[in-house]
Amino acid sequence: MADAAIELQDITCTFVSADAPAQRYTAVQDVTLTVGAGEFVSVVGPTGCGKSTLLNVAAGLLAPSRGTVRVFGQVLTGLNTRAGYMFQADSLMPWRTALGNVMAGLEFRGVPPAEARTRAQEWLRRVGLGDFGDRYPHQMSGGMRKRTSLAQTLVLDPDIILMDEPFSALDIQTRQLMENELLALWSAKRKAVLFITHDLDEAIAMSDRVVVMSAGPAARPIGAFTIDLPRPRDVAEVKMAPRFLQLHAAIWAVLRDEVLKGYRQQWQRAA
Ligand SMILES: Nc1ncnc2c1ncn2[C@@H]1O[C@H](COP(=O)(O)OP(=O)(O)OP(=O)(O)O)[C@@H](O)[C@H]1O
């Protein structure tokens, strides 16, 4: 069998409290999770269960306390250079135009400026911003900034895309447009995607597989569901399919109790 794009094996992450070094908090424990080459996998789970922690581990931004990360079969030791990331917050540089932002990653990688400009321009066109390359972030809407971030991630042609609630700040219509655009771009290039979301509807509509995490501490996957809805999908239309509703009911049955536990944990920790 071909190597998985990402293989998290028995990952445990324990954090030491900054205020009280004797106190430890194990966010995730013994998590094994794989994303196949070209597969779109979403992770859903209650707030604070460690979804972002796992994404940071996959990105190589956080070294796990225990466990191994493999990227296309190679053990990951530093940053995951095969991956591009897109986070909830904008990662755009305010002093650069849209084009300048999309070019930046290519420039850092030593691509000659003229080529970087052509490739960045092409990606801006693909995300529908061909005529907006000279806008600065403060001159763009939230949706335009997200499109620019998407172009910024995809211009580097990563084999793996790591996304942490990338569209959660958008209004519902813009969000659905962006989700459909992401699916269209993904199906053309078939990258491996690890997608973190709070939104079960979004997870089902987008993914090949949905992994459900338990509430923390020591969170771990407690269910994995293959999403056998046909592609191409329109994220708004697919939500009306009887199969979508069946899958939603089956996954929610597993997730619901964990969400309630997650809220209780948060209140207790806050108290
Ligand atoms: N650097 C850190 N130091 C201490 N605790 C941390 C650190 N990073 C994360 N945590 C804790 O680990 C747990 C998991 O956090 P994480 O952000 O991964 O959860 P999440 O599932 O992404 O949350 P949300 O859904 O609310 O975004 C949380 O309880 C958080 O407070």
Q: Is the CB of 49 under 6 A from ligand 1?
A: yes
Q: How far apart are CA 167 and CA 12, in angstroms?
A: 28
pLDDT for the residue numbered 1 = 64
Q: Where are the domains of the chain?
A: 91-157
Which residue has a Cα nearest atom 12 of ligand 1? 27
The tokens describing 143, both together, are 């949706």
Which residue has a Cα nearest atom 29 of ligand 1? 48
Q: Model confidence over 69-107: pLDDT tens digits?
A: 999 999 999 999 999 998 877 789 999 999 999 999 999
Which residue has a Cα nearest atom 9 of ligand 1? 53
SS3 label, residue 199:
coil
pTM for the predicted model, two decimal places: 0.92
Question: Which residue among 12, 14, 16, 25 has the greatest number of ligand 1 atoms within 8 angstroms of its CB, and so is best to mutate?
Answer: 25
Does residue 152 have a pLDDT over 70?
yes
Q: Is the CB of 31 under 6 A from ligand 1?
A: no
* Whole-number percent of the chain with pLDDT over 70: 99
Q: Which of 67, 58, 44 is nearest to 215 (CA)?
A: 44
* Whole-number percent of the chain with pLDDT over 90: 70
Q: CA angle 69-14-86, nearest 5°?
A: 55
- The answer to whether 191 and 150 have CB atoms below 8 angstroms apart is no
Does residue 20 have a pLDDT over 80?
no
Q: What is the mean pLDDT of residues 213-229?
A: 94
Between residues 232 and 142, which one has the greater pLDDT? 232
- The answer to whether 212 and 224 have CB atoms below 8 angstroms apart is yes
| Neighbour-count burial of 27, counting CB atoms closer than 10 A to its CB (0-12 exposed, 13-18 middle, 19+ buried) | buried
- The answer to whether 11 and 21 have CB atoms below 8 angstroms apart is no
The Å distance, Cα 186 to ligand 1 centre, comes to 28
Q: Model confidence over 53-74: pLDDT tens digits?
A: 999 999 999 999 999 999 999 9
Tally of CA atoms within 13 A in the half-sphere of 37 that contains its CB: 9
pLDDT for the residue numbered 113 = 94
Tally of CA atoms within 13 A in the half-sphere of 75 that contains its CB: 6
Q: Of all atoms in ligand 1, which is nearest to the CA of residue 164?
A: 22
Q: What is the mean pLDDT of residues 197-209?
A: 96
Q: How far apart are CA 79 and CA 83, in angstroms?
A: 9
Q: Is the CB of 12 under 6 A from ligand 1?
A: no
ipTM at complex level:
0.95
Q: Of all atoms in ligand 1, which is nearest to the CA of residue 269?
A: 29
pLDDT for the residue numbered 23 = 87
Does residue 39 have a pLDDT over 80?
yes
Does residue 48 have a pLDDT over 70?
yes
Q: Is the CB of 48 under 6 A from ligand 1?
A: yes
Q: Of all atoms in ligand 1, which is nearest to the CA of residue 165?
A: 27
